[in-house]
Amino acid sequence: MIIGLKDIQKSFGVEEVLKNVTFTLEEKEKAALIGVNGAGKSTLFKIITGEMSCDAGEIFLPKTAKVGYFSQSLEIDSEKSIYDELLTVFDEVIAIEDKMRALEQEMSSLSGEALERNMQAYSDLSHELEQRNGYEYQSRIRGVIKGLGFDESEFYKPIRTLSGGQKTRVALGRLLLSMPDLLLLDEPTNHLDIESIQWLEDYLNNYPNSLIIISHDRYFLNRVTKKTIEIENGKSTVYFGSYSFYVNQKETEREIARRHFINQQREIKHQQQVIEKLRSFNREKSIKRAESREKQLEKIELAEAPENLPDTIRLAFKPERESGNDVLSVKGLAKGFDDRKLFKNVNFEIKKGERIALIGANGIGKTTLFKIIMDRLAPDAGSAVLGANVFIGYYDQEQEDLSLEKTIFDEVSDAHPTLSNLAIRNALAAFVFTGDDVFKTISSLSGGEKGRVALAKIMLGKANFLILDEPTNHLDLNSKEILENALINYAGTVLYISHDRYFINRTATRVLELTPDGVNSYLGNYDFYLETKSTPVVTETAAPAAETKSSLDWKKQKEEQAAKRKLENQINKIEQQIADTEAEIEECETMLASEEVYSSASKSAEFFNKKTALEEKLNGLYAEWEKLSE
């Protein structure tokens, strides 16, 4: 065990943040720490590091254990370059190298016992250097700098000239290289693009020591952690699995608890009716039997009513009118600034009902492309044409459309005067504005809070084409899930930029990858994009003239016929798999409704998990069938 917490409690004034936090972490174990905003996650990290004291409880941590803590506000203020700052992590290793060089110089003038002593000292230092991985530290530094998104030309850039986000990345790199026994990471992916996040995932998967991660990036947590510690209402619950396992397990447990509560209440009501009936007979034996049942009823350990799920708020937003089938046509777009070309030859079509994720490297021009579509920026070449009856709802990260002098509530109600106060409050509550928070002025809000207000306004609007630039930034897990469900059920069309791969997986029907030379299109979600990226992709350009059959020679016709037969066989096979899987799902639903299963917690969990897995399999089969049918 690297660390153990027992009954940790912490209050701020009358607010009790942590009531009973208990868990252990083994050596080399990797865990996620999750909970809604304000649950006390960062507070717990500060208690572990000693930066803050707890009111009660115990922490068991070996005295020799080195703890490293990366916080959201951590920056490096240094006169050194990026490379030289990270080099300071290896001061002790460099000192060993200096001693070895000094011994090398001395050896040339020594002989006899003095030489032997020097050679032994040199051997000891060499062994120590090897133990500290001292022969590879320079390559490790270069690998970390590149992995965190810095170009090789920036290695010796002074840290004082960097942006806040870049300084935070340098601080993260220094912490990773220091290799603490327990690594605490609070939102480590906030200033990273997708490529850097993927690098960090691989780095942490190979990290030889223990770590605990706070993150809103659910895909990242799934890839790195195998234990999930949830803080809810001040108490901790440990789930021995990834984030997705936690979500499914918690849903199963809540469903089991709900069924148990309902069944118990039904049984209690039945017993009370029997007791009442026995008493109505007004005979000695019947009254004794009623009293006996009453005593048995008093002995029942009452199940607590299960708490409502945090995401009980359900937002639905519907377009006021439908668009035509052709929503957007982009042809030959190109854009650059000064001497720097962002992209060229961008061609794609968007049809009604699609939910499309636009991805690409930072700085490639994704937001610029959005501004061209919105007619807020002129392209260097090409066109972006909206279809008939298309009305846009646009969310941008700058929140330029908010009135700073208004309250949150007035900002939303003025934009949507026909909505009831309850509908507006529900929408704001989904984005963590409750109680008197709704009367704060826009000018007093942080950038993230302004973003959440803007997103609430968009969702309540009547647009039929949503264009969203990083809509999940600054949202907690609960708000992300509410937004995801709203988009999945949205009857209009959606085009969005996002680095949230879990969000893309849940909502996207297609992925567009913007490159300097055009757009690559992938039918499906982010996982499908990753799977197919190594294979030839469809680049959306102007369609070439169709080749007539008469121009095909006999051999080519035979090849096409064979390929068609193979494709038809694949489609038939998948259709059969779909039918079989649907039958299995129906069988699971039948079993879940049977008394034999719903009265048994273990059997309920077994069939619920099986049904969930089958539904995920079915989604994959449908996606594959659609791809082959195309």
CA 330 – CA 387 distance, rounded (Å)? 11
12 found inside a domain: no
31 found inside a domain: no
CB contact at 8 A, 176 and 188: no
pTM of the predicted structure, to 2 decimals: 0.68
Assign 398 to helix, strand or coil.
coil
Q: Whole-angstrom distance between the N-terminal and C-terminal Cα of the chain? A: 53
In this structure, what CATH number is given to the domain that contains residue 576? Answer: 1.10.287
26 found inside a domain: no
Q: Are residues 241 and 253 in the same domain?
A: no
Residue 554, pLDDT score: 53
Query: What is the span of the domain harbouring residue 115?
Result: 47-245
Q: Are residues 213 and 254 in the same domain?
A: no
Determine the length of the chain: 630
Q: Are residues 518 and 597 in the same domain?
A: no
Instruction: Give, in degrees to the nearest 5, the angle at Cα 202 between 201 and 207.
Output: 95
Q: What is the pLDDT of residues 249-305, one digit of tens each?
A: 988 888 888 888 888 888 888 788 878 877 776 667 678 878 888 888 888 888 776
Tokens representing 511 are: 């992925």
CA 350 – CA 352 distance, rounded (Å)? 7
Q: Are residues 265 and 367 in the same domain?
A: no
8 found inside a domain: no
pLDDT exceeds cutoff 80 at 462? no
Q: What is the pLDDT of residues 88-135, one digit of tens each?
A: 998 888 898 888 888 888 887 888 888 888 889 989 888 888 888 778
**Domain-terminating residue out of 284, 299, 314:** 299
Q: Are residues 490 and 347 in the same domain?
A: yes
Q: Are residues 386 and 504 in the same domain?
A: yes
**Which residues on neighbouring strands pair with residue 346, listed in sequence order?**
333
CA 380 – CA 195 distance, rounded (Å)? 28
Tokens representing 594 are: 């049977």
CA 227 – CA 236 distance, rounded (Å)? 13
Q: Which of 76-80, 463-467, 553-557 reaches the highest mean pLDDT?
A: 463-467
Higher pLDDT, 367 or 363: 367
CA 504 – CA 624 distance, rounded (Å)? 17
Closest by CA position to 10, among listed 231, 302, 319: 231
CA 562 – CA 489 distance, rounded (Å)? 40
Q: What is the mean predicted confidence (pLDDT) over 149-159?
A: 90
Neighbours of 47 (CB within 10 A): 22
Q: Are residues 378 and 508 in the same domain?
A: yes
pLDDT exceeds cutoff 60 at 584? yes
Which 3-state string (H, E, C) describes 467-497? EEECCCCCCCHHHHHHHHHHHHCCCCEEEEE
CA 88 – CA 92 distance, rounded (Å)? 9
Q: Are residues 350 and 474 in the same domain?
A: yes
Q: What is the largest CA-CA distance in the chain?
A: 116
Residue 43, pLDDT score: 93
16 found inside a domain: no
> How does residue 359 score in pLDDT terms, banded at 50, 70 and 90?
very high
Q: What is the pLDDT of residues 508-556, one digit of tens each?
A: 999 999 999 999 999 989 998 988 876 554 544 433 344 444 444 556 6
312 found inside a domain: no
The percent of residues above 70 in pLDDT, for the chain, comes to 90
Domains of the chain: total: 4
**Domain-terminating residue out of 245, 280, 308:** 245
CA 598 – CA 115 distance, rounded (Å)? 81
Q: Are residues 460 and 583 in the same domain?
A: no
CA 262 – CA 601 distance, rounded (Å)? 14
Which of the residue ranges 35-44, 174-183, 494-503 would you say has the lowest mean pLDDT?
35-44
24 found inside a domain: no
DSSP E strand stretches across 352-481: 355-359, 381-386, 392-395, 465-469
**Domain-terminating residue out of 539, 573, 600:** 539
The percent of residues above 90 in pLDDT, for the chain, comes to 38
Q: What is the pLDDT of residues 470-486, one digit of tens each?
A: 888 777 777 788 888 88
307 found inside a domain: no
Q: What share of the chain is helix, strand, coil (3-state, %, to 5)?
A: 50, 20, 30
CA 587 – CA 597 distance, rounded (Å)? 12
Q: Are residues 230 and 253 in the same domain?
A: no
Q: Are residues 276 and 230 in the same domain?
A: no
Q: Are residues 270 and 331 in the same domain?
A: no
Strand duo 518-523 + 538-539: pairing: antiparallel
In this structure, what CATH number is given to the domain that contains residue 516? Answer: 3.40.50.300
